[in-house]
Structure 1
């Protein structure tokens, strides 16, 4: 079985170097972009499930569709002090609407916390992603 290794660094492509060795170089920008895309795919999959459900879940669907940006923010950037008016939530903190949306599906909540840990690792520049989970 061939194992593909990912190395954080400059994204380069050298066909002679990459053939058969299974090494891919990914820089920080592309790693964060990959994480964001996978987070959005999870959210969209859950939205599609809610869209086909009965009328009770339509509000959850609209909330996930409209307020997707707070789900992509770092946890430290969410306001827990400042009230904002969110039409589908009424007047609330940004942190509380994220918590309510995460309560819809456990998979979404697990994905969100993994996303937050990976962002934290990228910001403090942990040399190995494995160190994050140990």
Structure 2
């Protein structure tokens, strides 16, 4: 559903494809932690943002694009646990986003996807999508 935060901002929850568990105690059992989700944030007179959350690429991203028409895609690119740069470019293609902000990369050795790889993948799969790489703490107006 869609949550109306105020007259200017709505938020919709959309699916994500990712495991969802945690370990409460060392060597304890894995506990279910709920459904993984992404978020659509629509700003009246402004951009629509799609934060994918931790997710693999999935075909319903096309439907999310058709329904919400995101201007900005915040896409995980690290790979291994989530999309890699090639999959993030497919997500950009399917959603029609004009700006793609890479996230969730470079924090662990297994997250090998890079913004440079995303830029190359966008040229191939989603030439309309422009990568916008942010530095930690940087803000950007879309």
Query: Normalising to structure 1: TM-score of the pair?
Result: 0.26
More strand by share: 2
Query: Normalising to structure 2: TM-score of the pair?
Result: 0.25
Structure with max Cα Rg: 1
More helix by share: 1
